[in-house]
């Protein structure tokens, strides 16, 4: 009897164990199924909300399993942003990290805190300085052609980008703030302290041509926030010098600010449509006002393959409105407009937000403008385009008895 009870107890234990195992297996499997369903719901919700779940998942796995030291978090984050933007297939929608973003902002403003030098990388790879006239660098004794060796006692890293080099020589303008430079001129080295000051970089350069004092020359290097005012100063001075014709040089001008480009075009065209802009909402025209300072003078515009964006806007408006002729080479062909958004860490995002067309509705993107007079650049560096413009304006002035 006792043996029978033991056997029955033993059987019940086995059955209970089997039942418990089945239940636990069911719960375990259900957990997998539930987790899978939950994960799918979470992922679906994340996709709907625009969250990047996979990035976080990958990062967690790297943190747990990656063998070597990971790059700085900001580098990984920047790489992820650039990868995302790369899927758009738009070369003009891009991300800029903080030092470059700061340089770009300074350039578009046309002013910055610094010592006032052009930084050139020579064929030998050396960093060569050329100070602006009356700049802090010039006043401190920096001479054109000085080779930069050290900044604040640290040797120059020749692998630095141009923007990073620019940032080394810029800073906040306040009492006593500046930078110590070690430079070489020939075989002689010297160390100088240069104070930071507000540097205004001219975007417009002008003069009366020595070849013919009846002709004024205006070079617009880029379109900054100060360009329209600088152009007005240039045109007033040239008119005071009694010039009778104008050459506007847009060669190498890669653009800048859209509204400033439109204001520049308005000084040469007496009202009417200057450009059409299209975005995801529709199309609108940007019209000029009557009475610009350069609307009544014979005009020729010089362009080349590096004339782009806002410079093409100006040149295209002048050409389509038959205000003047273009001389040079086919322009670059950038017909889109980018908005620049500053981000929380000092970086910035360029986003293509619209495209523009000339008054005759010519598209510019990847096409460019065809000059009225196409010329091959001179291999010896002579400015044959400027010479041709002078001859054509001289003929035009002679025709009108000027």
Q: Taking phi first (over 0 means left), then psi (-120 to 50 degrees means alpha), and beta for anything else, what does residue 350 get? A: beta
Cβ–Cβ < 8 Å for 147, 126: yes
Instruction: Give the residue with greater pLDDT, 111 vs 147.
Output: 147
Average pLDDT over residues 108-120: 82
What is residue 289's predicted lDDT score, i.e. its pLDDT? 95
Q: Taking phi first (over 0 means left), then psi (-120 to 50 degrees means alpha), and beta for anything else, what does residue 322 get? A: left
What is residue 8's predicted lDDT score, i.e. its pLDDT? 56
Q: What residue has token string 């860490």?
A: 345
User: What is the C-alpha separation between 30 and 44, in angstroms, rounded?
Assistant: 20
- The three-point CA angle 288-289-293 to 5° equals 105
Average pLDDT over residues 111-136: 85
Q: What residue has token string 């017909």?
A: 335
Pull the structure tokens for residue 370. 């065809």
Backbone angles phi, psi at 228, to 5 degrees: -60, -45
Residue 230 confidence (pLDDT) above 80: yes
Residue 48 confidence (pLDDT) above 70: no
Q: How confident is residue 134, by pLDDT bands cut at 50, 70 and 90?
A: confident
What is the SS3 assignment for 31? helix
What is residue 298's predicted lDDT score, i.e. its pLDDT? 98
**pTM attached to this predicted model:** 0.70
Torsion of CA 229, 231, 234, 240, to 10 degrees: -80
User: Comparing 179-188, 189-198, 377-386, which segment has the lowest mean pLDDT?
Assistant: 377-386
User: What is the C-alpha separation between 393 and 238, in angstroms, rounded?
Assistant: 16
User: Helix, strand, coil % (nearest 5) of the chain?
Assistant: 35, 25, 35
Residue 87 confidence (pLDDT) above 50: yes
Instruction: Give the residue with greater pLDDT, 137 vs 51.
Output: 137
Residue 44 confidence (pLDDT) above 60: no
User: What is the C-alpha separation between 50 and 54, in angstroms, rounded?
Assistant: 12
Residue 20 confidence (pLDDT) above 80: no
Percent of the chain past pLDDT 90, that is, above it, reads 67
Pull the structure tokens for residue 174. 């306040």
Q: How confident is residue 120, by pLDDT bands cut at 50, 70 and 90?
A: confident
């Amino acid at each position: 009897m006792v043996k029978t009870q033991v056997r029955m107890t033993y059987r019940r234990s086995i059955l209970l164990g089997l039942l418990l195992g089945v239940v636990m297996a069911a719960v375990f499997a259900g957990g997998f199924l539930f987790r899978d369903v939950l994960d799918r719901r979470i992922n679906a919700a994340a996709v709907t909300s625009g969250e990047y779940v996979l990035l976080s998942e990958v990062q967690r796995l790297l943190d747990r399993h990656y063998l070597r030291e990971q790059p700085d978090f900001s580098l990984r984050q920047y790489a992820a942003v650039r990868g995302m933007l790369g899927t758009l297939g738009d070369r003009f929608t891009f991300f800029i990290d903080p030092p470059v973003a700061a340089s770009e902002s300074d350039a578009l403003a046309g002013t910055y805190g610094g010592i006032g030098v052009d930084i050139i990388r020579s064929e030998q790879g050396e960093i060569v300085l050329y100070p602006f006239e009356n700049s802090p660098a010039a006043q401190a004794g920096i001479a054109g052609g000085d080779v930069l060796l050290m900044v604040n006692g640290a040797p120059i890293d020749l692998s630095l980008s141009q923007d990073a080099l620019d940032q080394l020589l810029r800073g906040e303008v306040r009492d006593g703030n500046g930078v110590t430079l070690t430079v070489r001129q020939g075989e002689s080295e010297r160390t100088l302290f240069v104070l930071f000051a507000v540097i205004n970089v001219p975007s417009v350069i002008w003069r009366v041509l020595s070849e013919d004092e009846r002709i004024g020359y205006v070079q617009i290097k880029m379109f900054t926030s100060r360009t329209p005012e600088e152009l007005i100063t240039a045109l007033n001075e040239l008119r005071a010098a009694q010039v009778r014709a104008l050459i506007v040089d847009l060669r190498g001008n890669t653009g800048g600010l859209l509204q400033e480009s439109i204001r520049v075009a308005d000084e040469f065209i007496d009202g009417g449509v200057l450009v059409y802009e299209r975005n995801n909402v529709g199309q609108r025209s940007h019209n000029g006002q009557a009475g610009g300072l350069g609307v009544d003078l014979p005009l020729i515009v010089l362009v080349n393959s590096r004339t782009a964006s806002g410079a093409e806007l100006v040149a295209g408006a002048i050409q389509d409105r038959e205000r003047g002729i273009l001389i040079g080479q086919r322009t670059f062909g950038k017909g889109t407009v980018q908005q620049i958004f500053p981000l929380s860490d000092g970086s910035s995002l360029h986003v293509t937000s619209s495209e523009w067309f000339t008054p005759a509705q010519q598209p510019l993107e990847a096409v460019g403008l065809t000059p009225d007079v196409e010329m091959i650049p001179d291999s010896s560096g002579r400015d044959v385009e400027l010479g041709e413009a002078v001859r054509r304006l001289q003929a035009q002035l002679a025709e009108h008895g000027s």
